[in-house]
Structure 1
Amino acid sequence: MTAVPRPWLLTLAALSALGTLSTNILLPSLPVIAQSLGVDEARLAAAVLGVFLAVFALAQLAVGPLSDRIGRRPVVLGGLAVFVAGSLVGALASTLPLLLVSRVLQAVGVAAASVLARAAARDRFEGPQLAALLGRIMVVMAAAPGFSPLLGGLVQAARGWRALFAALVLAGLALAAAYARIVGETLPAERRRHQPVSALARGYVTLLGDARFMRPALATAAILGALFAFFGTAPLVLTRSFGFSALQVGLFFAATVFVVFAAGQTAPRWTARWGAPTVLRLGAALAAAGGLAMLASPALGLIGFAAAGCVFLFGMGLVSPTGTALALTPFASQAGQASALLGFLQMAAAALLTTTAATLPGARVDALALVLAGGGLLALLAGSAKPGATVARAS
């Protein structure tokens, strides 16, 4: 197996993590931002997160096929330029509408970065190599949601909330330089697909009807949607139920990185031993078990909540790289489009399950537990469906 150069791996992982970094770094500062802009905190949070996720999901459907047509490099660098522009707007925003313009531009930029990090990996690798690379990317990606709230709180305390957007400007510029120098173009001209819009639409319909793509894609979407719900709801549980401070919440999430790290190191070894479909189903079952165990966590206290969360995160860390590799491997000739649709499904699931965890009646910990268990069970059902060339097509 050809070794993946570490700078190449870290650059792709950073591209994949940019979306979660640009959202989670803001979370500790939302009360301060709301006060500065003179808006309600709940309204601000819903708008900042909702607009970002919606645009992130839809933009991926465009940037993937575009990169299949003109190459990865111009789309990645163009997307990062849009991201930097959006971050500059955010640093200068004095009203909520202007802040939302910033979030729209940021979402378009990170859509290009996230989709094409996966596509670039598929351009160069397949099979066990691709699964191993995606597993290592997942490990690095875990640092973004794990450490970014802590980082955001420290930056905001030292320099104010506008410094968060300035930090994202620097991150975007650094990533653009790294990508241009280290990764470059991974899709040679002879492999590019010059298709009309009608053919692109048919390509998406074909992917939606192909079980080789849809089964692992739906499993991955369900599990990552549950992960977004965890990161969105767990801070509320920790502060209200266990009296955590903002710093303690940041440290809690930083500690979860090690669980995902362990899963990311384990997934390639288990895949080589038992096969990717088996590892996907095992991970989904563990994620569901973690959610079900969390239902009992109020009686077990903080240790019970943390243990249940760790079981879920370990299962998620098995499903995500394994399912992504399974979904992309059969589609080398349209890796950008397949990665785009996969990303769209993931962000749509994230929006749905995050909203569900926030709006279900009852205690937040119970709502979160049901969403985590439900995401794991949905992933298990998708991963356990009978093999076949196609799934039911939408009429």
Structure 2
Amino acid sequence: MNTSTSAALAQGDSVPARLNGRLLGVLAGLAALGALSTNIILPALPRMASELSVGMRDMGPVLSGFFLAFAVGQLFVGPISDRWGRRGPVLSGLSLFIAGSLVCAWAQTLPVLVAGRVVQAIGVCAASVLSRAIARDLFEGEALSRTLALTMVAMAAAPGFSPLLGSAMEYGPGWRGSFVLVGFLGLLLALAYVAAVGETHSRDRRAAATFGEVLRGYVALARDSRFMGPAFAVSVIVGGLYAFFAATPAVLMGRMGLSALGLGLFFACTVFVVFGAGMFAPRLAHHWGAVRVSCIGCMAALVGALAMLAGGEGRNLAYFAGAVALYLLGMGLVNPLGTAMALGPFSRQAGLASSLLGGLQMACAGVMTVLASLAGSSAGLGIVLAVASVAAFAALVASGHQRKAVPSPQ
């Protein structure tokens, strides 16, 4: 595929679009690497603080620094890739990510560790943003929905499996080994990208843009209901996922007595719900339309959130797991379909649109994570997720995307 793609690009032709296992694996890896590199260290934070001779409260910048750099960096990656192509930013970003991972692995002080995390974030934000842009370069319509469904499943699955992997690493090489592991995965992804994907943004579709033009492009997207409706819906629903990961440890370990290993297994089990929803979302959208299925997803998420709220703190693990499963089922439907709807009409601005979508997601994730952490209970988490579900439903309805399929690109 890489050779034929390069030949087509050299002639200014469109890129052949055929989904295969290697391409899907690379896109899924690019989408998931950022979440994996963050959640894998969560079980090791107490040990990291001890070895660096700081308190647990001082470890906040290890996470917040990453999210801030990730959110800001991706706003620049999209426009750069729209101008110069996807290959350079992807490989440069992965190189930065590998370098940042090595800095973290050998850090002897907290400031060096935070600096390494910032470098990690600046690098990996390119992978996350451009996984969506590459999918938009190659596919449209139902094929785009199907591709994004599979890659978004990987992005949502990474936070579920990575704490369990991080816990396992604690019994072996420790937290420094976790950074080496994710750096090695970044190297494998770079090699796989070169072999299986290559450049996907043809020269005739690239646009030179000044800073002012980029800013005006962001403003235009923010005012376009075709983008903002589904983009906001996806952002608040995915923000709920991050809120779930932030609040659940306090609920399951602090109030229900679950062990650290049990918590990791619980998170891992949630992945299968997201996987199932993501696999069925494009098929359902084919019959009922992307907007209708996304709205159904919002309602399923709302039912799960209200179940958490109604259950209070007196319910057992099975009840809480059922409520979580309903929310994640809804999230698994909304995420890929909403992303496809948001990016669908903007083939020439796929990088810009993907960057803004990523920024919205990180902003919502940050706000909702703080709110859910402050709540510290299943009822409080239910309130946060219920608000997110209602807001997502309203955004989809107001966006004007009342169609039976994802809109064709302009």
The residue aligned with 1:303 is 318
Confirm whether residue 41 of structure 1 aligns to residue 41 of structure 2: no
CA RMSD of aligned residues (A): 1.5
Per the alignment, residue 406 of structure 2 pairs with none
2:243–2:372 Cα contact (<8 Å) kept: yes
Matched, 1:337 2:337: no
1:229–1:353 contact (8 Å) kept in structure 2: yes
Q: CA deviation at 1:123?
A: 0.1
Shift of 1:96: 1.2
1:140 to partner: Cα distance: 2.5
Matches within 5 A, 1:162-201: 162-201=176-215
Q: What does 1:254-293 correspond to in 2, within 5 Å?
A: 254-293=268-307
Report the equivalent of 1:364.
377
| Contact in 2 for aligned 1:54/1:351 (Cα 8 Å) | no
Alignment gaps of 5+ in structure 2: 1-16, 402-410
Q: Is 2:386 the counterpart of 1:373?
A: yes
Separation (CA, whole Å) in 1 of partners of 2:58 and 2:294: 37
CA contact (8 A) 2:164 2:264 kept: yes
Q: How much does 1:42 deviate?
A: 3.0
- Determine the C-alpha separation between the residues in 2 that align with 1:196 and 1:296: 52
Please say if 1:134 is aligned against 2:148.
yes
Q: Which residue number in structure 1 is paired with residue 175 of structure 2?
A: 161
**Does the Cα contact within 8 Å between 2:303 and 2:327 map onto a contact in 1?**
yes
**Contact residue 17 and residue 144 of structure 1 kept, 8 A:** yes
- What TM-score does the superposition give when structure 1 sets the normalisation length? 0.95
In structure 2, the residue matched to 1:71 is: 85
Q: C-alpha distance in 1, partners of 2:378/2:110?
A: 30
**Residue from 29, 36, 46 that aligns with 2:44:** 29
Whether contact under 8 Å (2:225, 2:400) holds in the other structure is yes
| Structure 2 residue identity aligned to 1:310 | A
Aligned to 1:315, which of 311, 330, 336?
330
Please list the CA deviations of residues 150-187 of structure 1 after superposition, one character each: whole Å capped at 9, or x if unmatched: 11111122112111111111011111111111111000
In 2, Cα distance between equivalents of 1:226 and 1:143: 14
Question: Over residues 96-146 of structure 1, what are the superposed CA-to-partner deviations in whole Å (9 max), with x where a residue is unaligned?
Answer: 111110111111111100000000000010111101111111222333111
Amino acid at match of 1:190: D
In 1, are the aligned partners of 2:166 and 2:178 still within 8 Å (CA)?
yes
Deviations 1:352-379 (A, max 9, x none): 100111123xx52222111111111111
Distance 1:367 1:88 in 2: 38
Letter in 1 for 2:364: A
Runs of 4+ displaced beyond 6 Å: none
My pick for the range that moved more, 150-159 or 204-213, is 150-159
Structure 2 length-normalised TM: 0.92
Deviations 1:28-78 (A, max 9, x none): 00110011111221331x222211111111111000000001110000000
Match of 1:392 in 2: none
* 1:3 positional shift: 5.1
> Aligned equivalents of 1:140 and 1:342: distance in 2?
17
Assess if the C-alpha contact under 8 Å between 1:54 and 1:348 holds in 2. no
User: Which sits farther off after the overlay, 185-194 or 312-321?
Assistant: 185-194
- CA-to-partner distance for each residue in 1:248-277, whole Å, 9 max, x for gaps? 111111111110111011101110011111
1:300 is paired with a residue of what secondary structure?
coil
User: Aligned partner of 2:93: which letter?
Assistant: G
Aligned counterpart, 2:32 = 17
The separation in 2 between residues aligned to 1:347 and 1:139, in whole angstroms, is 17
1:97 has 2:111 as partner: yes
| Identical counterparts, % of pairs | 51
Whether contact under 8 Å (2:228, 2:399) holds in the other structure is no
Output the amino acid matched with 2:379: D
2:251 maps to 237
- Please give the alpha-carbon distance, in whole angstroms, between the structure 2 residues aligned to 1:36 and 1:369: 36
The answer to whether the 8 Å contact 2:230/2:399 transfers is: no
Deviations 1:300-351 (A, max 9, x none): 3111100000000000000100100000000001100000000000001111
**Is the counterpart of residue 246 in structure 1 residue 260 in structure 2?**
yes
Cα distance, 1:217 vs. partner? 0.4
